Structure 1
């Protein structure tokens, strides 16, 4: 499939109008998102070139891990499924591999020296593979759906320019105290805030020894961290946001309890539960989560009411 064909594919329809990837990109351009994406992607291309010249690109194992993670997220388990997905979105295998590699990089500070055509093409590949284009489409659909609550869609320049403010006003209107309180009541367990102190080391046996020092000798975790040359981090999180391997153990843990060592995505950890805080509107972290949840649900309801999707995003 050519780029022109891929971009002309229907994404969603609403208010008697059909919107393709062309309109989604133009929407992102008008909102300032596309120029920002061009800057980032251009800087990533520059960084890739610098690392190629220095012979310092991520190794094949890291690139393969990024590719495997992508395929898992998109349920592209066979080579045939991946090939069809890429063809449908006008992305070549080599472009996809390049995107997987760049997903491991941090952009350089300068995007100069990269051809605008190269950047534009790389933005399409990045937008499709990263899900950024899908995110643009969802926000665009939300703006249009909110507008359609009260009036038809004409697509006049003034109307389109006013859509972001309409969406923002709609979101603000949802944040009534009673709605937030009800959301917190429904999430009393999952939104419990946990203040944790985490000891991290690549060697599980080092953490086992550290755990004995804390449990049997009564040493402070910070003191043990220095002895074990382990990383000590303090973090606050909601129970729902804990890694799945930790969530069940944290659910029943009391303040002062030491958990682990446990294997997590970020290495072996020894975790001290410093504090448990029941969710309330006075907790900034909980209030933010309640606001996000209420707004997300309200927007989804309007999109479901007014938008028909043609792309599976």
Structure 2
């Protein structure tokens, strides 16, 4: 599990060690330890009893896992797992434990004090991989590393007290790791943690935000609406007539059709493509539909249509995040070289 290269960014190399240290530092590693211990104890308490439903669910999870990673053959799967420090048994056991997770999380079982025995540590590593946590942290670190590479000057030094606290955690959990190297890696992680916000301070100028808003103005419109879903199209059409011809509110028409109208704030850029055009062109007081909404006939009544402005905090947040995301994604494609994906 240690010492495997995950990616390089600019002139820096990131190992599986960095992912584990990041999880340890923010508390997620200890949460995993608790979940794994509880699931192991629960599995042991079952006494090896046959459970066809659990077996079927685990088999389906394994198939889904392989499909998502294009692991066609058993040989492909085995090679993928070995490259990430897992055996087929480690992997399948981790998938199986995840189906015990809801019941296991309710059990007041704490793992023993670290350091962990090697077999338990391997189980936690398996959970780290199959849960998606390794992927999440790898992508976060890559994003932070690219942000740091785009910043001018030297990065800030890590806080000595926080570094000492995290290093003590490493010594407690992973005494096999070299302390000097762990200190270096922890210091880098602490520096990277602020890289994206520091890049935002540099790049998100008023002029850049204004241009981004102009570019995305149509997609940043949002509507204050009521949405009613109906069991079938005839009921939706009848409700629409009640609103348009009889003057009922959508809430009243929906109630007559034995459903409810829900208040909703709809952002154009979050809608499915087939709904964006009709809602983008709708105005206040307009009833749309019946239209297909999440597989059901729906009516949408527009109360207010909000044009995007940087004075609106919600719009400003979306403009800032969109601009930053696009900048980092573009540079990640050129600055990051992946060796392992999870």
The TM-score, its normalising length taken from structure 1, stands at: 0.72
Q: Deviations over 1:135-160 (max 9, x none)?
A: 21122123333444434999365444
Q: What corresponds to 1:31 in structure 2? A: 26
Q: What corresponds to 1:112 in structure 2? A: 108
* Aligned alpha-carbon RMSD (Å): 4.3
Residues 164 and 71 of structure 1, relative CA distance in 2, 3 Å threshold: closer
Q: What corresponds to 2:68 in structure 1? A: 74
Q: Deviations over 1:44-100 (max 9, x none)?
A: 969x99xx9xxxxxx99xx79x9699679937596879956974664645644664x
Cα deviation, residue 22, structure 1: 3.1
Check whether the contact 1:194–1:277 (CA below 8 A) recurs between aligned residues. yes
Check whether the contact 1:71–1:82 (CA below 8 A) recurs between aligned residues. no
Q: Deviations over 1:145-196 (max 9, x none)?
A: 3444434999365444333234432223333221111111001211111222
Residues 177 and 258 of structure 1, relative CA distance in 2, 3 Å threshold: same
The partner residue of 2:269 within 230, 234, 240 is 240
Aligned residue pair count: 294
Q: What corresponds to 2:207 in structure 1? A: 178
Check whether the contact 1:188–1:279 (CA below 8 A) recurs between aligned residues. yes
Matched residue SS, 2:194: helix
Matched residue SS, 1:141: helix
1:4-83 mapped onto 2 (5 Å cutoff): 4=1, 8-14=3-9, 16-35=11-30, 41=35, 74=68, 76=70, 83=77
Distance 2:104 2:284 in 1: 41
Residues 296 and 34 of structure 1, relative CA distance in 2, 3 Å threshold: farther
Cα deviation, residue 37, structure 1: 5.5
Structure 2 unmatched runs, 5+:
47-52, 158-180
Residues 43 and 93 of structure 1, relative CA distance in 2, 3 Å threshold: closer
Q: What corresponds to 2:169 in structure 1? A: none
Distance 2:221 2:121 in 1: 44
Structure 1 unmatched runs, 5+:
53-58
Point out the structure with max Rg over C-alpha.
2
The TM-score, its normalising length taken from structure 2, stands at: 0.66
Residues 22 and 31 of structure 1, relative CA distance in 2, 3 Å threshold: same
Q: What corresponds to 2:142 in structure 1? A: 141
